[in-house]
Chains A and B, each alone.
Chain A
């Protein structure tokens, strides 16, 4: 801390609010070691025998050259266990997700978790009308600006799709609007074609101030998703390689749905998810040895009645904790799907599901918690929900600080002085410390009568008001004009 010291009787400078708050992690192993090893062995068996389908002959050839077994005819790539182990050993153990504002740099070393804005919804609950509608680039800018102001948000996914932009360059527009509206780290999830990845790297280079600067301080990271079961399209793997060659972290996220795109049993869903993620990581390390990458798990089960992703039951929570534990087994940073309520509004169900989801990711040890603000099984974005999720994060984060036990904290002398039957309201000890108590922003504490008189307002209304206030007040540090111009040129270039 470099807070100015008062020199001439002036008030001490107030501590500036931290721009990003990390979550001290616990590593509570939900799976016994034997279970982890059974899952690992089954995963190796799948990778060796069943393998993955890779929908690109050129990628298959490159992987085969790197040591995998590829069959261009069948599109199948299998990985001998030794190749898997050797490739995994090449991945770096820690990552730095840098940011335009170095105060927002995130070091992923297993001790601290960071929350992202969730993505990538095609619809948003309009902040004014609360109605569901298709999302635009302006919506993404709005979410990003709110997130920039929230210390609980560590990095940014593309909350909503910029659906009003031309499809081929939509991801570049999304990247542009996020860099322009926040100085936090951007994790780009929407550029799944090599051409788009090249555009993203160009934009990242401009923002970072050169290729070397981007490599040293990647203000941008990325991930690709598998197609469950056990399939990768060619372009995402090529895109991952483009990122990796530029020093931009390129993770892999599996999102299987048990009963539909994964087996019905929990263990098998974990095995398949693990196999898909490891296949991506191993493929990348074969293509670009030493590439910075991460392990992303976001599994759920199918709702048997509707056939849609259920989102929010105990299976999801187990997948969260087990996913983080498996990532640790491989020494890879974990990006764990968190806060994905199935509810359609920020209601009781959303509170329950997201409260428990938060605890599961914290206890499991997720380096990245992704993320805040989605409703309806990740299909609709809500800025109110973003703020409410941030409140849950803030509550749990405060809890992780534990009970400090200095003599001042234990207050035995104060207890003796007040004695039985007294009160602590006016004690100097109380005045010294009472402000360090956690303060909610959206929990209601007003008397019942006041609540009824004001029309029974809820946390959602308070969160919406707060979002509007942030949007009115918060001005993110703008991009330098020449950088902005260069980014637009990159987009124009790629649009051609």
Chain B
């Protein structure tokens, strides 16, 4: 029997769902959002785009750069966003369709530092690090969408996003979600590179191997660059989502409901703006709402109950609008792979999964997204594996129920040597990084932690994994695009 190749990607089937909020609460949140967008509106920092939005139906104040959305305009614009679409991989085995049936894990972005795989110390990240991290993620089936885990800090800032895209197109054949190109010029560069790899404009529209997202500025502000970039992507047929990252108490009201209203208003406002200017553009609803640490005034660095509530509430809202969602998960303030990282990662991942997130973002960082760690991706993949194992649920065939086997073994017997056990025991979940040694073995081995096992595996993958190669001439063309934009 030849060994079956493992699947390139392993989505998480969305079979368990929890609508934590009663429907009336969701409607109250929606109504409050509509009121904010009607009355307060968004600050859009582009005179040109404010005017265009005015022509497209929004109520605008050009002097104030304020864009307000009459409820019927908002509703109609939101309804234009498609509820399902393809995120293609360079390798079709890595294709993903966002259709509410599966949850897809993304690789995190965009840390400016990483834990060095050899020394274990924190240091600034480079383009080579980005390539290595991408190559490793290419080999981890649980990671299905590739963000830019670390910044290529050793290349010219102006074209850094293009270098990052180059490093990733050559290091993975999974779907890439570009998050660092936040101006029209870089977005155009990304589109050019994606077209080269996809084989042309039409091929890219049919099979977008790259998607993107832009961030709002809380509260209630959209910068010119991101909105222009979103329109460049929309024109090329590249899905471009919006992510809102308010910090309650600082850039959003301190109450959880107020935090949701700000998030929802920014996302609906941004999505409506794009749909008014580029009707039917594929987009998504991205949530990274967080709380402020009251003692330091910085991001709370900790995934707590409020963050989980934001996922639940916003997941329900995104479903209400029929727009694919990207929900925050694997958030931790921990600085290493300790109890805190484990608890926060598991609680946030399972909550966002139960909330029905089409995409779960994101694996690989610690310290509130500021530091990337290779080993974290592998540990998180174990966690996803547990959720998937739970998902497999319970089959109740006669073989599964085994009434005759139980009768056969009888009271006080054991099942160790029973044929039924030998037939079925391999169906039970087995860990890759969890420690199940005896205490004595563990002490004798110097009390190794799952982190060491994961780090060892990460080193191996970075050294040995060979992603699907790009033809040499294509790589040359990619470099030419960067050079052209650098001028």
Report B294 CB to chain A, min CB distance, Å.
6
- Contact between B257 and A50, CB atoms less than 8 A apart: no
Q: Is A418 an interface residue (CB 8 A)?
A: yes
In the bound complex, residues from chain B placing their C-beta under 8 Å from that of A270 are: 394
In the bound complex, residues from chain A placing their C-beta under 8 Å from that of B413 are: 229
- Contact between B257 and A410, CB atoms less than 8 A apart: yes
Interface core residue of A317, A399, A459 (most chain B CB under 10 Å): A399
CA separation between A433 and B291, bound complex, in Å?
13
Closest chain A residue, CB of each to CB of B295: A445
Q: Which of B43, B293, B389, B424 contacts A263 (CB 8 A)?
A: B424
Mark contacts of B348-392 with chain A using CB atoms, 8 A cut-off: 1 yes-contact digit, 0 otherwise.
Answer: 001100100000000000010001000000010011001111101
Mark contacts of A357-386 with chain B using CB atoms, 8 A cut-off: 1 yes-contact digit, 0 otherwise.
Answer: 011100100000000000010001000000
For chain B residues 112-155, which have a beta carbon within 8 Å of chain A? 122
Interface core residue of A363, A443, A448 (most chain B CB under 10 Å): A443
In the bound complex, residues from chain A placing their C-beta under 8 Å from that of B20 are: 26, 399, 402
21 chain-A/chain-B pairs, Cβ below 8 angstroms = A53-B410, A259-B415, A263-B405, A271-B406, A317-B386, A342-B434, A343-B435, A349-B449, A353-B434, A359-B354, A398-B305, A405-B25, A408-B255, A422-B219, A424-B249, A433-B255, A434-B254, A438-B306, A443-B334, A446-B296, A458-B340
Mark contacts of B421-439 with chain A using CB atoms, 8 A cut-off: 1 yes-contact digit, 0 otherwise.
Answer: 1011111111101111111
Q: Which of B36, B221, B346, B379 contacts A412 (CB 8 A)?
A: B36
Q: Is B485 an interface residue (CB 8 A)?
A: no
Report A420 CB to chain B, min CB distance, Å.
3
Please provide the 5 A-B residue pairs with the shortest distance between their CB atoms, ordered closest to farther: A351-B342, A314-B389, A420-B43, A355-B346, A53-B411
- Contact between A318 and B411, CB atoms less than 8 A apart: no
Given contacts A268-B406, A459-B338, contact A306 B437 (CB under 8 A): yes
In the bound complex, residues from chain A placing their C-beta under 8 Å from that of B416 are: 259-260
Given contacts A310-B436, A342-B435, A376-B439, contact A410 B258 (CB under 8 A): yes
CA separation between A419 and B433, bound complex, in Å?
48
- Contact between B262 and A415, CB atoms less than 8 A apart: yes
Q: Which of A260, A267, A322 contacts B402 (CB 8 A)?
A: A267
From A39-47, A103-111, A161-169, give the one contacting chain B: A39-47
- Contact between A351 and B346, CB atoms less than 8 A apart: yes
Q: Which of A347, A351, A401, A448 contacts B335 (CB 8 A)?
A: A448
In the bound complex, residues from chain B placing their C-beta under 8 Å from that of A42 are: 401, 403
Q: Is A227 an interface residue (CB 8 A)?
A: yes
- Contact between B258 and A414, CB atoms less than 8 A apart: yes
- Contact between B339 and A351, CB atoms less than 8 A apart: yes
Report B395 CB to chain A, min CB distance, Å.
7
Report B388 CB to chain A, min CB distance, Å.
8
A contact set with B: CB distance below 8 Å: 26, 28, 30-31, 34-35, 38-39, 42, 45-46, 49-53, 76, 132, 227, 229-231, 258-268, 270-272, 275, 301, 303-306, 308, 310, 312-315, 317-318, 322, 342-356, 358-360, 363, 376, 380, 388, 391-392, 395-399, 401-406, 408-412, 414-416, 418-425, 427, 429-430, 433-435, 437-440, 442-448, 451, 456, 458-460
- Contact between B400 and A403, CB atoms less than 8 A apart: no
Q: Which of B396, B414, B433 contacts A261 (CB 8 A)?
A: B414
Report A348 CB to chain B, min CB distance, Å.
4
Mark contacts of B42-68 with chain A using CB atoms, 8 A cut-off: 1 yes-contact digit, 0 otherwise.
Answer: 110000000000000000000000100
- Contact between B340 and A305, CB atoms less than 8 A apart: no
CA separation between A26 and B294, bound complex, in Å?
30
Q: Is B35 an interface residue (CB 8 A)?
A: yes
In the bound complex, residues from chain B placing their C-beta under 8 Å from that of A318 are: 390, 393-394
- Contact between B438 and A306, CB atoms less than 8 A apart: yes
Q: Is B302 an interface residue (CB 8 A)?
A: yes
In the bound complex, residues from chain B placing their C-beta under 8 Å from that of A353 are: 342, 346, 434
- Contact between A263 and B421, CB atoms less than 8 A apart: yes
CA separation between A262 and B402, bound complex, in Å?
10
Report B362 CB to chain A, min CB distance, Å.
17
- Contact between A411 and B342, CB atoms less than 8 A apart: no
Q: Is B309 an interface residue (CB 8 A)?
A: yes
- Contact between A440 and B304, CB atoms less than 8 A apart: yes
Report A274 CB to chain B, min CB distance, Å.
11
- Contact between B411 and A50, CB atoms less than 8 A apart: yes
- Contact between B255 and A409, CB atoms less than 8 A apart: yes
In the bound complex, residues from chain A placing their C-beta under 8 Å from that of B308 are: 399
Given contacts A351-B343, A403-B309, A459-B339, contact A356 B250 (CB under 8 A): no
In the bound complex, residues from chain A placing their C-beta under 8 Å from that of B418 are: 263
Known: A313-B386, A318-B393. 14 other contacts (CB 8 A): A26-B18, A267-B394, A313-B434, A348-B341, A352-B345, A392-B347, A403-B257, A415-B40, A415-B220, A416-B40, A421-B217, A424-B252, A437-B294, A443-B344
- Contact between A268 and B449, CB atoms less than 8 A apart: no
In the bound complex, residues from chain A placing their C-beta under 8 Å from that of B221 are: 420-421
In the bound complex, residues from chain A placing their C-beta under 8 Å from that of B219 are: 415, 418-424
In the bound complex, residues from chain B placing their C-beta under 8 Å from that of A304 are: 425-426, 428, 430
In the bound complex, residues from chain B placing their C-beta under 8 Å from that of A392 are: 343, 347
Closest chain B residue, CB of each to CB of A304: B425
CA separation between A416 and B66, bound complex, in Å?
13
- Contact between A315 and B429, CB atoms less than 8 A apart: yes
- Contact between B340 and A429, CB atoms less than 8 A apart: no
Mark contacts of B325-343 with chain A using CB atoms, 8 A cut-off: 1 yes-contact digit, 0 otherwise.
Answer: 0000000011111111111
In the bound complex, residues from chain A placing their C-beta under 8 Å from that of B412 are: 53, 227, 229-231
CA separation between A253 and B305, bound complex, in Å?
31
Q: Is B227 an interface residue (CB 8 A)?
A: no
- Contact between A50 and B16, CB atoms less than 8 A apart: no
- Contact between A399 and B309, CB atoms less than 8 A apart: yes
Closest chain A residue, CB of each to CB of B408: A50
In the bound complex, residues from chain B placing their C-beta under 8 Å from that of A272 are: 406
Q: Is B420 an interface residue (CB 8 A)?
A: yes
Closest chain A residue, CB of each to CB of B311: A399
Report A459 CB to chain B, min CB distance, Å.
5
- Contact between B309 and A402, CB atoms less than 8 A apart: yes
CA separation between A26 and B367, bound complex, in Å?
32
In the bound complex, residues from chain A placing their C-beta under 8 Å from that of B447 are: 344-345
Q: Is B318 an interface residue (CB 8 A)?
A: no
- Contact between A314 and B429, CB atoms less than 8 A apart: yes
- Contact between A445 and B293, CB atoms less than 8 A apart: yes
- Contact between A423 and B339, CB atoms less than 8 A apart: no
Given contacts A342-B436, A424-B251, contact A349 B450 (CB under 8 A): yes
Interface core residue of A45, A53, A410 (most chain B CB under 10 Å): A410
- Contact between A306 and B333, CB atoms less than 8 A apart: no
Given contacts A263-B405, A348-B450, contact A442 B340 (CB under 8 A): yes
Given contacts A259-B416, A399-B351, A411-B253, contact A349 B403 (CB under 8 A): no
- Contact between B392 and A430, CB atoms less than 8 A apart: no
- Contact between A411 and B257, CB atoms less than 8 A apart: yes
- Contact between A229 and B409, CB atoms less than 8 A apart: yes
CA separation between A38 and B389, bound complex, in Å?
22
Q: Is B21 an interface residue (CB 8 A)?
A: yes
Closest chain B residue, CB of each to CB of A227: B412
Closest chain A residue, CB of each to CB of B385: A314
Given contacts A270-B394, A399-B309, contact A30 B16 (CB under 8 A): yes
In the bound complex, residues from chain A placing their C-beta under 8 Å from that of B351 are: 359, 399
CA separation between A273 and B89, bound complex, in Å?
45
CA separation between A39 and B413, bound complex, in Å?
21
Q: Is B313 an interface residue (CB 8 A)?
A: yes
In the bound complex, residues from chain A placing their C-beta under 8 Å from that of B295 are: 445
Q: Is B457 an interface residue (CB 8 A)?
A: no
- Contact between A259 and B390, CB atoms less than 8 A apart: no
Given contacts A76-B411, A267-B400, A412-B35, contact A313 B428 (CB under 8 A): yes
Q: Which of B297, B403, B430, B434 contacts A271 (CB 8 A)?
A: B403
- Contact between A264 and B450, CB atoms less than 8 A apart: no
In the bound complex, residues from chain A placing their C-beta under 8 Å from that of B434 are: 312-313, 342-343, 349, 353
Report A226 CB to chain B, min CB distance, Å.
10
For chain B residues 295-329, which have a beta carbon within 8 Å of chain A? 295-297, 300-302, 304-306, 308-309, 312-313
CA separation between A314 and B346, bound complex, in Å?
13
